[in-house]
C-alpha cells in the first residue's frame, strides 16, 4: 500500500501494534473510490468494519446501491442512515441547479453545507454506542473540489470536539488514511487491496453511465489514466 506523505498530525497510519487493542471501526461509506479504498484499508489492518451510509436526499440513489454493494463485497453489513438535508444552494440536493461540467474556481455548487460535520457527528455517536475503537473517513485534500470539510484543519477541530464533547471520545481514534494522497495514489492503493472499483460510483449524475464531465468524473478518469488503466466502470 502506498504510504501517504509524512505529516505531523494526530492521524498516524495504523500500526500493527494498534490492532491488538483496536477491534471495531465505523467507516463512512459513500460508494465512491475514496471511501471504498478507506474501507479496504481498515479491513486490511484487521478492523471489524461497520460501514455507515447516508441517504440524505442526494441527487440520485445510485451511490447508495453502490455503497451497499461495496460493503457486502468487503464482508460487512452496512447501516443506512436516512436523514434530511433539505437545503437549497447545492446541486447535489437541489435538482433545479445544474451540476457544473467544467473545473470551477473556488468551491463549486456541489458543496453541501456542513455535510461532513453532520456525517462525522452521526459516526461518532454510532462508534461510541457500539464501543468502537476508530472512525475512518475517506476524505482527501489533494486533487479535490476545495471543500472546506475535507481539510486537515477540519479534522483537527473535529478531533478536539470529539475528545471534549463525548463520554468516551478520547478512546475513539479518528483516521483519515488517504487525506494526503492524490487520486492516482488512491487508485493504486485500492488496486493492491483488490477494491472492487467496478461496483463503485463517482459521478454526480445517477444515469446508466458516468457523465464524464463533472468534477468527480474528471478526477476519477485522470487517476486511472495516469496509471495507464481503464476505469472498470467504463468497460
106 found inside a domain: yes
Residue 27 zone, left/alpha/beta (φ > 0; ψ -120 to 50; rest): beta
| CATH code, 88 | 3.40.50.620
2 found inside a domain: no
Specify the number of domains making up the chain: 1
Interval 5-39: pLDDT, tens:
433 333 334 444 444 454 899 999 999 999 999 99
Could you tell me the pLDDT band of residue 1, with boundaries at 50, 70 and 90? Answer: very low
5 found inside a domain: no
What mean pLDDT value characterizes the chain?
88
What is the distance between the alpha carbons of residues 103 and 170, in angstroms, rounded to a whole number? 39
pTM for the full predicted model: 0.88
What is the distance between the alpha carbons of residues 234 and 222, in angstroms, rounded to a whole number? 13
84 found inside a domain: yes
Strands 173-175 and 24-28: unpaired
The lowest-confidence range among 71-85, 86-100, 201-215 is 86-100
104 found inside a domain: yes
Interval 210-233: pLDDT, tens:
999 988 898 999 999 999 999 999
DSSP 135-200: EE-----SSS---GGGSHHHHHHHHHHHHHHSSSGGGSEEE-TTTT--HHHHHHHHHHTT--GGG-
168 found inside a domain: yes
Domain that holds residue 84: 16-234
What is the distance between the alpha carbons of residues 102 and 39, in angstroms, rounded to a whole number? 30
Amino acid at each position: 500500500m502506498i504510504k501517504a506523505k509524512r505529516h505531523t498530525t494526530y492521524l498516524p497510519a495504523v500500526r500493527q501494534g494498534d490492532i491488538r487493542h483496536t477491534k471495531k471501526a465505523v467507516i463512512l461509506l459513500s460508494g465512491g473510490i475514496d471511501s471504498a479504498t478507506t474501507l479496504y484499508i481498515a479491513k486490511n489492518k484487521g478492523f471489524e468494519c461497520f460501514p455507515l451510509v447516508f441517504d440524505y436526499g442526494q441527487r440520485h440513489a445510485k451511490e447508495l446501491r453502490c455503497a451497499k454493494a461495496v460493503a457486502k463485497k468487503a464482508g460487512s453489513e452496512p447501516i443506512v442512515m436516512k436523514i434530511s438535508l433539505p437545503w437549497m444552494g447545492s446541486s447535489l440536493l437541489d435538482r433545479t441547479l445544474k451540476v457544473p461540467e467544467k473545473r470551477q474556481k473556488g468551491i463549486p455548487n456541489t458543496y453541501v453545507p456542513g455535510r461532513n460535520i453532520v456525517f462525522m457527528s452521526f459516526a461518532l455517536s454510532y462508534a461510541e454506542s457500539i464501543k468502537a475503537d476508530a472512525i475512518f473517513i475517506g476524505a482527501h485534500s489533494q486533487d479535490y473540489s476545495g471543500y472546506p470539510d475535507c481539510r486537515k484543519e477540519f479534522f483537527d477541530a473535529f478531533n478536539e470536539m470529539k475528545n471534549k464533547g463525548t463520554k468516551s471520545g478520547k478512546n475513539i481514534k479518528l483516521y483519515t488514511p488517504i487525506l494526503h494522497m492524490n487520486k492516482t495514489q488512491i487508485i493504486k492503493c485500492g488496486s493492491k487491496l483488490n477494491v472492487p472499483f467496478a461496483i463503485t460510483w463517482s459521478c454526480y449524475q445517477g444515469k446508466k453511465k458516468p457523465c464524464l464531465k463533472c468534477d468527480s468524473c474528471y478526477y476519477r478518469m485522470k487517476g486511472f489514466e495516469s496509471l495507464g488503466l481503464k476505469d472498470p466502470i467504463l468497460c
